[in-house]
Amino acid sequence: MTTTHDPITTFEVGGVGHSVLRKEDDRFVQGAGNYVDDIVLKGMLHMAILRSPVAHARILGIDASEAEAMEGVVAVVTGAMLEGYNLAWMPTLSGDTQAVLATDKVRYQGQEVAAVIATDPYIAKDALGAIFVDYEELEAITTPQQSLTTETLIRDEKEGQTDNVAYTWEAGDAAITDAAFAAAHRVVSLESHYPRSHPSPLETCGCVSDVNPITGQVTIYLTSQAPHAHRTLFALVAGLPEEKIRIISPDIGGGFGNKVPIYPGYVVATAASLVIGKPVKWVESRSENIISTGFGRDYHMTGSLALDENNRITGMRAAILSDQGAFFADAQPTKFKAGLFHICTGSYDFGAAHVTAKGAFTNKAPGGVAYRCSFRVTEASYLIERLADKAAHEIGMDPAEFRELNFIKKEQFPYHSPTGFVYDSGDYHGAMTLAKEMIDYDGWREKQRDQDPNGKLIGIGIASFTEVVGAGPSKDYDIVGLKMFDSAELRVHPTGKAILKLGVKSQGQGHETTFAQIVAEELGIAANDIKVIEGDTDNTPYGLGTYASRSTPVGGAATAMVARKLREKARKLAAHLLEASEDDLEWEVGKFSVKGSPESFVTIQDIAFAAYTNHPEGMEAGLEGVHYYDPPNMTYPFGTYIVVVEVDQDDGTWEVVDMVAVDDCGVRINPMIVDGQITGGLTEGFAKANMQWISFDDAGNCIGSNFMDYLVPTAWETPRFKLGETVTPSPHHPIGAKGVGESATVGSPAAYVNAVVDALWSRGVTNIDMPVLPHRVWGALNGVDVKP
């Protein structure tokens, strides 16, 4: 059985395994965080964006003269003006191009059409009403199915584009899979729509662009999860010299993938600042955030499992039709057009799988960001875990037992999946055993058997997910050509305090604490004596940023490695100070001592001082270094979640009455922070299962474009969770950690839905798509085909 990592450092040092209180919290609890909208620069102007009210229309003309004449309005920017700077279009992270400000057509409701620059934000918004756009409306394509059959071409501007297909992609082996299905004793199938959702971090997106007209220096304060990559993209898009671009990503009020792409507003504000010569601030409203920035999911999935006569899974097929919106702007590694969806074989041991994917353009906002997820892993995990539950129910087998029968066994790791992943480590039976025990699984099944069939119906749902996170090895993983390594630079000062600079960027995950703890573990310098700096491209080493649970697997590994580099130099310094041979020294947290003479030692603080005051001849002074870490493999966090719900037959509402989440993210650096990540993720998973949904009417109007219509859970609706853990270290990560920020968002939606369907299975209900809204439940129970 796996065990929790026992700390090797004292609590005062605060290395791995200690729930060190967060260093960033002092400023946040005093209202002294510094978010983009808090930044005020001298002479700063304000920008507001005019957006399309319709989903698909040709632009016949734009008249901004009335707006331009308003007092306080400095300029009105249109696409035609941007064309003069070659900035009307910009590349997306998936190799497509996206309009910055529409010139020919608008392709979704909320698309950027013009921008007002004014001396005051109120005036900028007033002026939007004085811009007149002449639209000729076109047919709005609102589903991918419609997109593939209509003659209307959404991307008529794109050379060579003759249909509405954004991409096609496949993984696995069709022939081997066909053979598995031909030989199957039973085939279980599911059609499911994982609906469009939106990350909606509490802070919306925005920037303050400051182009100095004399020096040409471009400083952009940006809500960015990936400041270095954004700097390079700005250089490439705008043709600006990269050394003159400085991206500062200050405190970020939540990201969840929403702040990975570059949005048109950033480009327009920067262009405006360049032309006008004054700083320009743009901060979007909540409605703008929801209707125009990176959404998540929107996958129409068909999946099947082949089973043999012993109820073992022998093969899987999955076909995806994804709704991409008007531009293919998924934020994901270049080679993976459907992200890492091919993790869809999940936690189960079988040898045949084939996955196909097709993306369709529609008249909806583009995005397809990995909403708290490692590139489509959430959709994949949902499909396999819904299929596993459906298979168990169709067989008449307990869903936990079905999973245990089919799990990859812990001695099978490293495990080669049929779609090409090499899972690093796992103990799926261990997580399941603990989850069942914690929730009293057998007890709940007994209560379910004995329940009053006319009362509230008990449902028990399980999800045993496997994620693939920590992108990634540079031979396979890049974003627009930038390899997905990450970096850490560590400087130990003469007094033995240190500063650590990273290429990743926290949005609330607690990096200032967690990464200091890794250094504390490796060098014995107290975590509270280490300042962590991120998000300023002039002052941190290059990295690809924070998303897809990659900070600890990649940036955390870089941190451990740079600390180890410094420890090797410290050994040389210690040998000099102790007048001993390096080979005669041994390291114990925070000090080197002479083997056999423990009283003869020097601390890391002594060594740091000597590095600047008394280093031996021939040795470089100082104690600092940098490490770029290229991970040898991805990491594979996993867990088992069990949810118990009660479904009200009268009105279709359901509530979570018990829930256990057992997570295994490898070694836990700060258990308090890990539990916080999991609790937040379970809530977001619940939100998607229960309420969160971006829908559209037939004309392409976004329904759910604000927090009154796009429901996110409050404390009142949020279930109470019990958390459990197993620890199976990653064998290739320097400290055995795997990443945890997204596990619960990835794993939990299927558990909630499985629970509701389990409650209703005996009534003939085999599937309800998310969000599992009361009227959908009621409709399913009563055999009534309700509108979604």
Partner 1 sequence: MKVTVTINGTAQTADIEPRKLLVDFIRTELGMTGTHIGCDTTSCGACTVLLDGTPIKSCTMFAASADGHEVQTVEGLKNGELHPLQVSFKQNHGLQCGFCTPGMMLVGKALLESNPSPTDDEVRWAISGNLCRCTGYTNIVKSIQAAGAAIEGN
Residue numbers of the site for partner 1 (CB under 8 A)?
21-22, 24-35, 37-38, 40, 121-122, 200-204, 251-254, 256, 285-287, 507-510, 672-673, 675-676, 679-684, 706-708, 712, 714-716, 718, 720-721
Distance from CA of residue 682 to its chain's centroid? 14
| DSSP of 196-248 | EE----SS--EEEEEE-TTT--EEEEE--S-HHHHHHHHHHHH---GGGEEEE
Q: How far apart are CB 2 and partner 1 at their closest, in Å?
A: 24
With respect to partner 1, which residue has the nearer C-beta, 227 or 303? 227
Shortest gap between Cβ of 672 and partner 1 (angstroms)?
A: 5
Q: For residues 284 and 389, which CB has a smaller minimum distance to partner 1 in the complex?
A: 284
What is the nearest approach in angstroms of partner 1 to the Cβ of residue 678? 8
CB of 602 to partner 1, least distance (A): 35
CB of 124 vs partner 1, minimal distance in Å: 13
Which lies closer to partner 1 via its Cβ, residue 417 or residue 683? 683
**Is 742 one of the catalytic residues?**
yes
Shortest separation between residue 722's beta carbon and partner 1, angstroms:
11
Q: Is 240 exposed, middle or buried (0-12, 13-18, 19+ CB in 10 A)?
A: middle
Q: Which is nearer to partner 1, 40 or 784 (CB)?
A: 40
Cα atoms found within 13 Å of the Cα of residue 415, Cβ hemisphere only = 28
Question: For residues 325 and 320, what is the distance between their CA atoms, to the nearest angstrom?
Answer: 15
Residue nearer to partner 1 on the CB measure, 611 or 723: 723
Which contiguous run of DSSP H or E holds residue 387? helix 377-395
Q: Which helix (H) or strand (E) holds 602?
A: strand 597-603
Asked whether the CA dihedral 423, 255, 239, 154 is positive or negative, the reply is positive
Name the token pair of 653: 């509402």
Residue closer to partner 1 (CB basis): 221 or 423: 221
Residue whose CB is less far from partner 1, 214 or 708: 708
> Does the annotation count 668 as an active-site position?
no
Neighbours of 573 (CB within 10 A): 23
Kindly state the smallest distance separating residue 771's Cβ from partner 1, in Å. 17
Assigned token pair, 788: 């979604």
Looking at the Cβ atoms of 57 and 373, the one nearer to partner 1 is 373
677-680 contacts at long range (C-beta below 8 A, 24 or more positions apart): 677/509, 677/740, 677/741, 677/743, 677/744, 678/721, 678/723, 678/740, 678/743, 678/744, 679/721, 679/723, 679/744, 680/744
Q: Name, in order, each residue with C-beta under 8 angstroms of 677's C-beta and a sequence gap of 6 or more.
A: 509, 740, 741, 743, 744
Half-sphere exposure of 762 (CA within 13 A, CB side): 11
Q: 502 is written with which tokens?
A: 């990273």
Is 242 marked active-site? no
Which residue, 433, 467, 493, is CA-closest to 660? 433
Instruction: CB nearer to partner 1: give 254 or 368.
Output: 254
Least Cβ distance, residue 484 to partner 1 (angstroms): 24
Provide the 8-state DSSP code for 101. Answer: S
How many CB atoms are closer than 10 A to CB 786? 13
145: helix, strand or coil: helix
**Mapping DSSP to helix (H, G, I), strand (E, B) and coil, where does residue 694 land?**
coil
Query: Considering the complex, what minimum distance in angstroms separates the CB of residue 661 from partner 1?
Result: 11
CB contact set of 317 (below 8 Å; sequence gap of 6+): 177, 181, 303, 304, 353, 354, 355
Q: How many helices (H) and strands (E) does the chain have?
A: 19, 34
User: Considering 372, 376, 403, 567, which one is annotated as catalytic?
Assistant: 372
Cβ 714 to partner 1, closest distance in Å?
A: 4
Q: Catalytic: which of 288, 379, 646, 742?
A: 742
Q: CA torsion angle for 693, 695, 701, 705 (degrees, to 10)?
A: 0
Could you say which of 109, 111, 225, 649 is catalytic?
A: 225
Q: Which of 142, 115, 266, 254 shows the shortest CA–CA distance to 198?
A: 254
CB of 718 to partner 1, least distance (A): 5
- Comparing CB distances to partner 1, the nearer of 120 and 538 is 120
The residue (of 290 and 578) whose beta carbon lies closer to partner 1 is: 290
Q: Which residues contact 396 (CB under 8 A, 6 or more apart)?
A: none
SS3 per residue for 460-528: EEEEEEECCECCCCCCCCEECCEECCEEEEEEECCCCCEEEEECCCCCCCCHHHHHHHHHHHHHCCCHH
Pairwise CA distance, residues 211 & 276, whole Å? 9
Quote the least distance from Cβ 72 to partner 1, whole Å. 12
Residue 90 or 687 with smaller CB distance to partner 1: 687
| Residue 124 Cα distances to 43, 50, 72, 760, 766, angstroms | 15, 10, 8, 53, 52
Which is the catalytic residue, given 205, 207, 344, 373? Answer: 373
By beta-carbon proximity to partner 1, the closer residue of 256 and 348 is 256
User: Collapsing DSSP states into helix, strand and coil, what is residue 264?
Assistant: helix
Q: Reduced to 3 states, what is the DSSP secondary structure of residue 626?
A: strand
Distance CA 560, CA 563 (A): 5
**Phi first, then psi: what are they for 572, rounded to 5°?**
-65, -40
Residue 190 and residue 289: Cα distance in Å, rounded? 33
225 annotated active-site: yes
Rounded to whole angstroms, how far apart are CA atoms 59 and 68? 20
Report whether 227 contacts 545 (CB < 8 A).
yes
CB of 674 to partner 1, least distance (A): 10
* φ, ψ of residue 441 in degrees (nearest 5): -55, -50
Task: Give me the active site residues, please.
Answer: 225, 372-373, 742
